[in-house]
Structure 1
Amino acid sequence: MEAALYGPGGFFVRSAPAEHFRTSVHASPLFAGAIAALLGRLDEALGRPERLDLVDVGAGRGELLIGVLAALPAGVRDRVRPIGVELAPRPGELPATIGWTSAPPTGLAGLLIATEWLDNIPVDIVELDAGFRRRYVETTPDGTETLSAADLSPADAAWLDRWWPLRDAPPGARAEIGAPRDAAWAGAVAAVERGLALAVDYGHFADARPLFGTLTGFRAGRQVPPVPDGSCDLTVSVALDSLGSPALPQREALRLLGVDGRRPPLALASSDPGGYVRALARASAAAELTDPGGLGAQHWVMHWV
């Protein structure tokens, strides 16, 4: 998984995410506007510092940073230090005011955001064999899977015992060892000295773990078999409760920031037809972001420092 996503010629090194799947960032500028509103509240809470950090981990081609900067009032935007964190080379069209690095900076005062990053942290997968023993799933680049004869490491066994024990599950049941994600999130939180670390991602909790795991692939807007040859995105939903930070459904978080998918009053169509059409378009975009069967099913994992 690591080689297929981030190695030489890996999917995220050579591909722009927007070419293959639709995230909240790409769905509507309302998402960037909501993040700008959140950053404005953080700015006030931090006492309007001279430098307000905005760091996007897994920045793609910088779309979110560009959108947030455009939505900020000038008095805030002038103090923002925007930085994209990505393994891919810096996009040529990115404004010079946006920094670009392969690792998150530290000592941040402001907002660190990671949108659909944790689901792309490489993890090991285990499966119950016919004897109900937990075995690592090993995969060749062409997608052929076998079960390892080796026992789990003590650390992996301990993580599973705590977060995904597979008790009473049948042979073939799977679990995804989220310890590398937990460590990545802890590192992101540690980079924030004052402010908020925010991860936006699909995930699940201990009372509703998927019986056969969540590993899947995406390419060119379609779900495809998760073949680890670098040709597709490999994504694994997040065990949200193991991260150790509060999580809020995206639809609730966005509504708190003014993104509401309810239709405008029909009376507005008579008094202000143009305003009604604009409000209806906004409501449609908001509905996609808050749809509990789609992007609204994501969670905002938040850690305030």
Structure 2
Amino acid sequence: MSWMRWRPAMEQALYGEPGGFYRRSEGPAGHFRTSVHASPGYAKAVARLLHEVDEALRHPAELALIDVGAGRGELLTGVLAAVGPALAGRLRPYAVEIADRPAGLPGEVVWTDRVPQGASGLLFANEWLDNVPLDVAEVDEDGVLRYVEVAPDGAERLGGRLDEADARWAADWWPAAEPGERVELGGGRDAAWAAAVGALAGGLAVAVDYAHVRSGRPVFGTLTGFRAGREVRPVPDGSCDITAHVALDAAAAPGFHSLWTTQRDALRALGVSGARPPLALAASDPAEYLRLLSRATAAAELTDPAGLGGFGWLVQTVRMPQPPSLAGLGARRTR
């Protein structure tokens, strides 16, 4: 049996050629539902945030919208439909994704496998960091953190001690001491996010994901799989998504102003409301009542604190002030 650490196993299973999960024709939407798929209101909220970034940057001749982990371009397509014509003429949309460009995507979308360098605008990463491969460690019976190794069938065993960088990250961000406790080592994710934020000449970077912070790390980790809408055992053979929640406080790129909040609070600040329309409207205008009720139902799913609304938002500014809608939210600091 061939054993390897989880990070290279995830890399191959998710992104390897030709059989990596994220290279499959059906795309992520064929296996799980994200905020992008839940409601067009999500794209409208991102469009509003994009307008605020444009205002803060004083309406540059070219404004970038960079969707990192773009799937099949669903978010970009929705935002392009939601922005006004004045902004659309200056907008440069980038879809950052390793899969091939899908058919039917608007021609103005730049399809690329890497974050563009030196652009100014909004960089938005919805459920990207949870799929950046990482290593997993577990405390052994002697209280020593060791790498968890995995076989192609998903079987696990403990391997060697952590190297210096991973041991330092665990001590700083996810201390664990009791036998059986697990740590999902996020140093690679921190580096990936720092590179994405650092690529901006100016603007706003937003990471949205399943998340936790140092005061509430999960004792046994979160590594899991998804296939066809169901949670499954994480087997690194390309048959399922493999994901782990993000230590979002650790991920904040050093040197930039940071804000952490929940999706519920962020979307409410951006005008997404699950409030039901007045019942009287059902009698006076039944069609409008049903339209508004449908929109409210979708918004309620996006902001449900036990579901999508419980996602974390990490917001970092790059040579611009905080956007007005989000300025009063969450915890802040500069690393």
Q: Give the TM-score of the pair, scaled to structure 1.
A: 0.97
Residues 1:4 and 2:6 are matched in the alignment: no
Residues 1:36 and 2:47 are matched in the alignment: yes
Residues 1:13 and 2:26 are matched in the alignment: no
Deviation of 1:140 (Å): 1.2
Give, in whole Å, the separation in 2 of the partners of 1:181 and 1:271. Answer: 53
Gaps of 5+ in 2: 1-9, 253-257, 319-335
Deviations 1:119-178 (A, max 9, x none): 001100001112221110000111111100x221011000000111114x3x21111000
State the match for 2:151 in structure 1. Answer: 140
State the match for 2:288 in structure 1. Answer: 275
Gaps of 5+ in 1: none
Residues 1:154 and 2:164 are matched in the alignment: yes
User: For 2:29, what is the secondary structure of its paired residue?
Assistant: helix
Deviation of 1:265 (Å): 2.1
Residues 1:71 and 2:82 are matched in the alignment: yes
Give, in whole Å, the separation in 2 of the partners of 1:41 and 1:246. Answer: 16
The one of 105, 108, 113 equivalent to 2:116 is 105
Give, in whole Å, the separation in 1 of the partners of 2:82 and 2:106. Answer: 15
Q: How many residues align?
A: 302
State the match for 2:225 in structure 1. Answer: 217
Residues 1:290 and 2:303 are matched in the alignment: yes
State the match for 2:260 in structure 1. Answer: 247
Letter in 2 for 1:154: E
RMSD: 1.0
Write the mapping of 1:75-94 to structure 2, written as runs, cut at 5 A. Answer: 75-94=86-105
The one of 215, 235, 238 equivalent to 2:243 is 235
Deviations 1:69-101 (A, max 9, x none): 001111111110011011111112212111101
Letter in 1 for 2:49: L
Deviation of 1:270 (Å): 3.3
Give, in whole Å, the separation in 1 of the partners of 2:67 and 2:103. Answer: 18
Give, in whole Å, the separation in 1 of the partners of 2:88 and 2:209. Answer: 26
Give, in whole Å, the separation in 2 of the partners of 1:140 and 1:246. Answer: 39
Q: Tell me the percent identity.
A: 60
The one of 280, 297, 300 equivalent to 2:313 is 300
Q: After the TM superposition, which segments of 4 or more aligned residues of structure 1 sit over 3 Å from their partners?
A: none
User: For 2:161, what is the secondary structure of its paired residue?
Assistant: coil
Residues 1:58 and 2:69 are matched in the alignment: yes
Letter in 1 for 2:289: Y
Letter in 2 for 1:155: A
Deviation of 1:240 (Å): 1.1
Letter in 2 for 1:24: S
